[in-house]
Amino acid sequence: MPNAASVSGPVVLVGCGRLGSAILEGWLLSGTVAASDLIILSPSEKPAAETARAKGARINPPLETLTDAAVIVLAVKPALWREVMAPLAPFLNDRAVILSVMAGVTAPTLAEGIGGWPIVRVMPTTGVSRGRGVASVWSADARAGDIGRALFEPMAETVVLADEVLMDAATAVAGSGAAYFYAFTEALARAGEAAGLDATTADVLARATLRSAADSMGDDGLEALIARIASPGGSTRAGLDAMAKDGRLTAMLDETVAAAVKRNREMG
């Protein structure tokens, strides 16, 4: 399995917004990339970048310093990558790898816009900042794929996708999934309130239940986890049956993921 040692040379993080900052924090927390090996390009001051600067990272140095870069991590908004990359490309060496964490922008589109550098796409969640993220990786280039894994496996549960077309679905499930769970938790709290709980108590119970469920999941199958709680004829089973009535839970989530996939492709 590749490790951080397989990335030989500076790692350039282009963009330090919400996701870029989370990646930066995760690298420093996990020791995946030493601060002294980081170059951060950001148009505005960001707390995560300033923390990295204090540890030895270079912030917005002259572009000539990019000539030795091993990896260029594109963490900018999908609509901006072309104008951001245009001034950088002339300074990149032939063995540099382009690592994109942008939703919806395909490898052929990137190659058309920036030339023939190896490309790896990674879609991480912001949980990488705590070393507990999720990341989907795809590349047509074996070395680029190994580098993508090396940069994210230490801080994320990582899956390698067999085909780039699956990246939009993986993004809709994992990249967006945390927000779905939060929305479900909010709805569960409001349902508890409707059943008679005060709002504060309902919020505490719903949030704590989500945390407890996540901590208890382990590697067991999901059906086994449900069966562990839902006794035949019990109240949990009654609630699950209500959720599943007429296939509405499955239909709702099918629509949710399909809508996110559609939007990912539109952004690309």
Q: Do domains 4-167 and 177-267 have the same CATH topology?
A: no
Task: Provide the CATH number for the domain formed by 177-267 in this structure.
Answer: 1.10.3730.10
Per-residue pLDDT tens digits for 213-253: 988 888 789 999 999 999 999 999 999 999 999 999 999 99
In angstroms, how far is the first alpha carbon of the chain from the final one?
31
- Domain borders along the chain are 4-167, 177-267
Measured CA to CA, the distance from residue 131 to residue 26 in angstroms comes to 6
Please tell me the predicted confidence (pLDDT) of residue 156: 96
**SS3 readout for the chain:** CCCHHHCCCCEEEECCCHHHHHHHHHHHHHCCCCHHHEEEECCCCCHHHHHHHHCCCEECCCHHHHHHCCEEEECCCHHHHHHHHCCCHHHCCCCCEEEECCCCCCHHHHHHHHCCCCEEEEEECHHHHHCCEEEEEEECCHHHHHHHHHHHHHHEEEEECCCHHHHHHHHHHHHCHHHHHHHHHHHHHHHHHHCCCCHHHHHHHHHHHHHHHHHHHCCCCHHHHHHHHCCCCCHHHHHHHHHHHHHHHHHHHHHHHHHHHHHHHHHC
150 assigned ligand-binding residue: no
**Between 175 and 2, residue with greater pLDDT:** 175
Cα 202 to Cα 118, 195, 229: the distances in Å are 50, 10, 20
pTM: 0.85
Among residues 62, 50, 7, which one has the least CA distance to residue 31? 7
Please tell me the predicted confidence (pLDDT) of residue 5: 42
Q: Per this entry, what is the length of the chain?
A: 268
Per-residue pLDDT tens digits for 67-117: 999 999 999 999 999 999 999 999 999 999 999 999 889 999 999 988 889
Please tell me the predicted confidence (pLDDT) of residue 61: 97
Structure-token pair, residue 114: 């920036």
Query: For residue 204, how far is the Cα from the chain centroid?
Result: 27
262 assigned ligand-binding residue: no
Q: How confident is the model at residue 166 (pLDDT cuts 50, 70, 90)?
A: very high
Please tell me the predicted confidence (pLDDT) of residue 83: 94
Please tell me the predicted confidence (pLDDT) of residue 175: 83
Please tell me the predicted confidence (pLDDT) of residue 2: 40
139 assigned ligand-binding residue: no
Q: How confident is the model at residue 268 (pLDDT cuts 50, 70, 90)?
A: low
Please tell me the predicted confidence (pLDDT) of residue 6: 64
76 assigned ligand-binding residue: yes
The residue-averaged pLDDT of 52-61 equals: 97
176 assigned ligand-binding residue: no
User: Which distant-in-sequence residues (6+ apart) come within 8 Å of 262 by Cβ?
Assistant: none
Task: Provide the CATH number for the domain formed by 4-167 in this structure.
Answer: 3.40.50.720
Query: For residue 146, how far is the Cα from the chain centroid?
Result: 17
Measured CA to CA, the distance from residue 268 to residue 266 in angstroms comes to 5
The residue-averaged pLDDT of 157-166 equals: 96
